[in-house]
Amino acid sequence: MHKSWKQITVAVAATFALAACGNVSHDVAKDGHSAGELVWPAPDKVTPMHKGGTFPNLRNLRQVRAGLNKQQVSDLIGYPHFSEGVWGVHEWNYVFNFRKPDSDEVTVCQYKVLFDDDKVARSFYWKPESCAALLEEPKVVSQPPREEEVPQQFTLSADALFAFGKADISPEGKKALAGVATQLHEHIARVHSVNVTGYTDRLGSTAGNQQLSERRARAVKDVLVADGLPSSKIQTEGRGESNPVKDCPDGPRAQLKACLAPNRRVEVRVD
């Protein structure tokens, strides 16, 4: 009886040894960097608990590298999926499944780790080799920061900047222009030119209105330059009573003056 059990034990051991021989590569180098012949076990020969392969944790799989011992490799991706053994062998084999993004389609890959005589991982292989690309980190396409649009035009009421018929900017007018200067500062590298154009209403003489519009445009430029904008980028012109934005019938002067207020303006156009 004792002899019979011994024979059975030897037979079982021989059976596992033969199974392992079919699963492992030939002539694995002592340093684990190569093999005389890589042998890939049939995917359907995995152990019962690994039937169908597993879906690996990609973050863990990306951390598998040369220099890890077997315990560290198993902590990341588990023990091998075939019956080649665990501790006394020079290779571990796996069947991994990868699901394509936004799809139910699955890619099946085989993965092999070769260990050196000290049981330290040294080389890694994929079947098919294209499976290695599945470990690549998704490329993040950096989007250039969206540039805010440069303000194209500011229309300033002359009555908010000047006393009626004058070209000296009031304190309130300087505050309003400071806001314009701040916005232009944010985009000054993209600004080719700033055109300041003064307009008046039709009250008074045509020549007088032309001169007043020119003086007001120059006064606005002076404030913008004082606020830090480059003088070389700012051009001025006066257009007097031309291009009115509101037409008003004649009437009492106070009422006409109030009606024509929108025509008294300074336009700051940005190119």
Q: Are residues 116 and 174 in the same domain?
A: no
Per DSSP, the residues of 130-176 read GGGGGGSPPP--PPPPPPPPPP-EEEEEHHHHB-TT--SBPHHHHHH
Cα separation, 34 vs 226, in Å, equals 75
Instruction: Identify the CATH number of the domain in which residue 247 sits.
Output: 3.30.1330.60
Contact 194, 229 (CB under 8 A): yes
Cα–Cα distances (Å) from 132 to 7, 62, 188, 230, 239, in that order, read: 45, 10, 49, 57, 71
Q: Are residues 63 and 162 in the same domain?
A: no
pLDDT tens sequence across 114-134: 999 999 999 999 999 999 998
Q: Are residues 26 and 119 in the same domain?
A: yes
CA 89 remoteness from chain centre: 45
Q: Is 239 helix (H, G, I), strand (E, B) or coil?
A: coil
Q: Is residue 96 part of a domain?
A: yes
Q: Is residue 103 part of a domain?
A: yes
Give the residue with greater pLDDT, 25 vs 241. Answer: 241
Q: How many CA atoms lie within 13 A of 250 on its CB side?
A: 1
Q: Is residue 201 part of a domain?
A: yes
CA angle, 76 then 79 then 80, to 5°: 120
pLDDT tens sequence across 174-204: 998 998 888 888 888 888 899 999 999 999 9
Q: Are residues 22 and 65 in the same domain?
A: yes
Is residue 261 pLDDT above 50, yes or no? yes
With tokens 């220099």, the residue in question is 67
Q: Are residues 47 and 73 in the same domain?
A: yes
Residue 121 main-chain phi, psi, to 5 deg: -60, 135
CA angle, 252 then 253 then 257, to 5°: 120
pLDDT tens sequence across 225-237: 999 999 999 999 9
The pLDDT, as a whole number, for residue 202 is: 93
Is residue 24 pLDDT above 60, yes or no? yes
Q: Are residues 100 and 68 in the same domain?
A: yes
pLDDT (mean) for 83-103: 88
pTM over 0.75: no
The pairing of beta strand 234-238 with beta strand 194-199: parallel
Number of domains in the chain: 2
Which residues does 90 contact at the CB level (< 8 Å), separation at least 6? Answer: 24, 25, 28, 32, 114, 115, 116, 117
Q: Which residues of 128-165 are buried (b: 16+ CB within 10 A; e: fewer)?
A: eeebeeebeeeeeeeeeeeeeeeeeebebebbbbbeee
Per DSSP, the residues of 190-211 read G---EEEEEE--SSS-HHHHHH
pLDDT tens sequence across 138-158: 777 776 666 666 668 889 898
Q: Is residue 213 part of a domain?
A: yes
Q: Are residues 197 and 108 in the same domain?
A: no
Q: Are residues 112 and 10 in the same domain?
A: yes
Domain containing 181: what range? 153-270
Cite the DSSP H helix spans in 27-168: 58-62, 70-77, 158-161
The pLDDT, as a whole number, for residue 20 is: 45
Q: Are residues 105 and 178 in the same domain?
A: no
Q: Are residues 189 and 238 in the same domain?
A: yes
Q: Are residues 168 and 213 in the same domain?
A: yes
Which residues does 11 contact at the CB level (< 8 Å), separation at least 6? Answer: none
**pLDDT band of 8, cuts 50, 70, 90:** very low
Q: Are residues 11 and 37 in the same domain?
A: yes
